[in-house]
Every structure is written in C-alpha cells, then in structure tokens.
A and B are shown apart, each in its own frame.
Chain A
Amino acid sequence: MRARYGASPLHLLVHLAVLALAAWALLQALDLGGAERIVLWLVGAVVLHDAVLWPAYTALDRAARRGRPVGWANYVRVPLGLSALLFMVFFPVMCGKGEAAYTRVSGTTWEGYTGRWLLVSAALFAVSATLYLATSRGPRS
C-alpha cells in the first residue's frame, strides 16, 4: 500500500477528508450567484502570483543586482519593496477604485491617499539613505 501510494494511510485519509470538505465548501460557494467569477478569482490568485508577481520581482531584482557589489542592493530594494507593497495593497483607495461606492454610503470622499503614499515612500528612501551613509562611513571592522 505504502509503496504504491507513496505515503502512509493516515496521509491518504487526511487528504481525502480535507478534499471532500473543500469540495463541499466550493460547491456551497459556487451555488451562490457569480460562480464563474468565484472560480476566476480562485484560479486568478494562483496565476497572478506564480506567473506574474513572482517572475516580475525576481527578474527586477536580478536585473538590479547585476554586477553591483554585495550589500549595496539592500538599501534600495528594501524601501522600494516596502513602497511597492503599500501600493499593491492600497492602490484601490489611492486610485479611488471604490470611491463611488464609498461616497454613496458614507457621504464623504477620499483625499490625499496618493500624496501620503509618496511622502511615506520618500521617508523610507531617506531613512535608508541615512542608514547607508552611517554604515558606509562608519568604522570598518
């Protein structure tokens, strides 16, 4: 059994139980309106990460580090990564994607989000520059 299946019976039973429960939940979800859109978002989440996000940041990082001295890159890619992360998560509010819905229910508008993101990004780069200066001019051991 183990030789043919490749793992223990416990492994098989746990996976069968889990797949059955997951299938039940998926059927419940698909029973709602917009089944094809739910599937699209489930598949899209994987495709977006594995086929777009991961290759993009890997390629960018490799290109940026080509031929540069080790250690130099972190002062750029860490604040750049933080700024990109903030944009990736909060671009809907920055670009006013949900503003029509938000204004309709709350009666107020969104102001200054892109500006605050730029200022925070500027602060991140400035802190990184300060740290770079402090470490590159400090005593070397």
Chain B
Amino acid sequence: MIPAPPGPFRPGFWRSPLRGPGLTAALGSILLVLVTIVAVTGFLSHAAYQPDLGGNALVRPDLPFTTFFGWPSGPSWLYALNQGLHVNVGLAVIPVVLAKLWSVIPRLFVWPPVRSASDALERTTVALLVASTGFLLATGVANIQNWYVFRFDFVRAHYYAAVVFVAALAAHLVVKVPVALRAYRSRVVLAPLRAGLAETRSEPEGDVVAPAPDPPTISRRGLLAAVGAGSVALAVANAGTSVGGPLRPTAFLGPRRSGGFPVNKTATAARITPAMVGPSYRLLVAGEQELSLSRADLLALPQATHTLTLGCVEGWSTRQTWSGVPLADLARRAGVPAPSEVFIESMQPAGVLRQVTLSGGQVADARSLLALQVGGKDLTPDHGYPARIIVPSLPGVHNTKWVGRLEFRA
C-alpha cells in the first residue's frame, strides 16, 4: 500500500485535544435540531405558496413533493413566524456547521482515501451533504441581501438543493446516529462539557482523536459557548426585521431594517402607470355575474378592518391594520358564494407573481380582504393603490398589489 503523504494525511498532523466522537456527537445533535427547523419551515413555505393551484407553481407543477394539506389562513402571523424561523435559524446554523466540519475535518484526509465500496458510497453522500449545505446557506444568505450573484433561478435551485440535502442527511443519520448513541452511552458527550480548561482532556478513543495532542487552549463548553455566541450574533443581526414594529431597528445588519412598513416592490418597478390607477380604474370581478367596480364603488361597499401580519419569504414582516371589502363578500356579489378558488391578476404587466390562485378556504376567511386602506389612510401607490389583496398567513408576494381582476371559480 502507498504510505500516506506528509501533512494532513498523517494522524500526527492533527493536534487539537478537543476533537473526538463525543464533541462531534454534541455538535451533530445541536445541528440536527437546527437544520430540522430550517428544512421543515422551508418545505412548509413551499406548501404555503400552494403550488398545486393554477399558475402558482414556481418550482414545477408536476412535482411529486406537492402539498398534502391546504395551507391554513390563520393565525395571520403563521407565515411570518415560519419564515422568521427559516431565515434566522438558517443564519444561526452557519457557525454550528463550521464547528461541526472543524470537528471532523481529519476525516477528509483519511488514508487511503477509499477503503471499501461502502466507504466510497458514504464519502459520496457526505460530499453531497456538505455541498448542498454550503449551497443552501450561501444562496440563502445572498438572496436575503438581494445579491443575485449566482445568476440562476434561486427558488428552484434552493428547492432542489434542499431535496439533495434531506436525502444526503438521511443516509448520514442512518450511518452516524449509532455512532453518536455509542458516544452518549460511553459518557464522552455531556460529561466533558462540565470540565473547565484545566480539566479538559482528550477523548479516550475515536478516529478523529489526535494521537499526540497539544495542551487545550479552550474547554469544550467554551467552544460550544463561542459557537452559540456566533449563532446568537447572526440571528440578532437580522431577527428584528422578522418581528417588525419597534424591534425592526435592532436588526443592525438586517437588509430590511429601515422604514416602518417596507415596500417589496414599488409601483415604478412594477411598471404601474398613473393612467392605470386613475379615475378610469375598474376592478373586474368574474363569477356567475361579471362586475366592474370603480374605487368609489368599492369604498361604498361594507368595509371590514383587521390587523394582520404580512410576512415575506425573505424573513421580514410587518403588522398593519387593513380596511377593505372582504373577499367572501365580493364572491357573493359575483354569484359564487362558496368558490373553490379565486384567480387574481395584478395590473402590473410582467413578472411571475402578477397572478395568483388562492384556495376557497382562504376566500372564506372573514379577514381576507381586498384592501383599500392601511393604517386608516388610502393605500400608497407602492403599497398597491387602488386595491390590493391581504389574506392572513399568506406568503407576502401572494398578497397581490394593484389588483385588476378577480375570478371566483365554483
């Protein structure tokens, strides 16, 4: 057999006394909880876009991973909570991932690189796991900062990378959960966390344990505390934008920290012209009867007012008091009192999100409005004047602005 080349391929290269199956099991356990939150909220967000309803699918309408349940229309902060967790826990994961990779990095340089067919398969899945983790974190971090440097479709690439991630993680867990449980049973996971620097020793055995370790410079609990501080720092830097209100300015590095009521897309960017929203504006409502309503007609209908949270997929949210005509009321007037769905079109001429289909359950919710006012004042052009959709717990961009047409389907 060819001897190991010098450097990291020789065990003596590795000097940290902290590495061992116990530390890896501790970091892996924390990471498993965090990535489960991020993955579940990610796939729930996919479900919240209701890709099985007409025109909604951003990924692909024929996906086998479609929604098995209708996304609920309440509580109104549900989607904002989902995305707040997805984005901020996703940020908090980063230092834990780095620490976990650090704890097992000698495994990257094992010699010989492949010992058996099972070893080759395992290393392939680990490569997929690390690649998809890095891909998901890097594209997610860039996307919340509007930095589209990757120049591919974020939504679809992030989605399929998540499928790769979940698959690779499942195989990794099948192999490594027994290893971690063995570490817990041999008391090398939790007990060493009680040790201060002076009592920090190498673990008795394991393939990442250094054969000739240096003296420790930090205790295991010190390392975990530093990693935790990193997670907290990243989450706090952004989380204020997820909570909104008075906490928004505390997000010292959050991309959506300024302004009380952020604008996702301005009227100018959506190419809404003054002529479209002027006195000639008519909302077309299709159903059993066709209606054509001016803004004055809409204001003359019975109005409802609800305080609802608008949550963006990118993790920021805002809670506002909206007034307008309940969608259920418009459905009744169109002669479709219990629609199975409503198809909504914006007046904006282009963009994948200029149209959306909502479920019958969402129309039936009394808080689902065609909003005309927010905060007691008329909508501003950037917030969707003359009329916009606001539905509890609906992904932000599905709350269509500058609504031109509603079609209630029986």
Taking Cβ atoms with an 8 Å cutoff, the residues of A that contact B are 4-7, 10-12, 14-16, 18-19, 21-22, 24-26, 28-29, 32-34, 37-38, 41-46, 48-50, 53-54, 65, 70-71, 73-74, 78, 81-82, 85-86, 89-90, 92-94, 97-99, 101-102, 104-108, 110-111, 113, 116-117, 120
Contacts and interface: CB of A to CB of B under 8 A. Distances in A.
19 contacts: A19-B124, A19-B167, A21-B167, A25-B160, A32-B156, A34-B157, A41-B135, A45-B130, A82-B233, A85-B95, A86-B233, A89-B94, A92-B142, A92-B147, A98-B147, A98-B148, A105-B263, A105-B265, A111-B258
A20 to B, nearest CB: 9
Interface stretch (B48-56, B215-223, B325-333): B215-223
Contacts of A22: 125, 128, 163-164, 167-168
Contact of A6 (B118, B134, B148, B218): B118
B139 to A, nearest CB: 7
Given A11-B122, A29-B156, A106-B264, 4 more contacts: A26-B164, A33-B152, A70-B217, A92-B142
A37 to B, nearest CB: 5
B253 A98 contact: no
B112 to A, nearest CB: 13
B97 to A, nearest CB: 9
Contacts of B156: 29, 32
A33 to B, nearest CB: 6
A46 B152 contact: no
Contact of B163 (A16, A21, A54, A108): A21
Interface stretch (B38-46, B170-178, B370-378): B170-178
Interface of B: 60, 91, 94-95, 98, 101-102, 105, 108, 115-119, 121-122, 124-125, 127-128, 130-135, 137-139, 141-142, 145-153, 156-157, 160-161, 163-164, 167-168, 170-171, 174-175, 197, 215-218, 222, 226, 229-230, 233-234, 237, 252-253, 255, 258-259, 262-266, 268-269, 382
B164 A107 contact: no
B253 A117 contact: yes
A81 B94 CA distance: 13
Contact of A25 (B145, B164, B197, B264): B164
Contacts of A42: 131-132, 134-135, 161
A74 B222 contact: yes
Contact of A48 (B118, B121, B134): B134
Contacts of B259: 108
Chain A CB count within 10 A is highest, among B101, B164, B174, for B164
A110 B151 CA distance: 22
- Shortest 9 CB-CB distances between A and B: which pairs? A45-B134, A6-B116, A34-B152, A98-B146, A98-B147, A7-B118, A6-B118, A29-B160, A25-B163
A133 to B, nearest CB: 18
Contacts of A5: 116-118
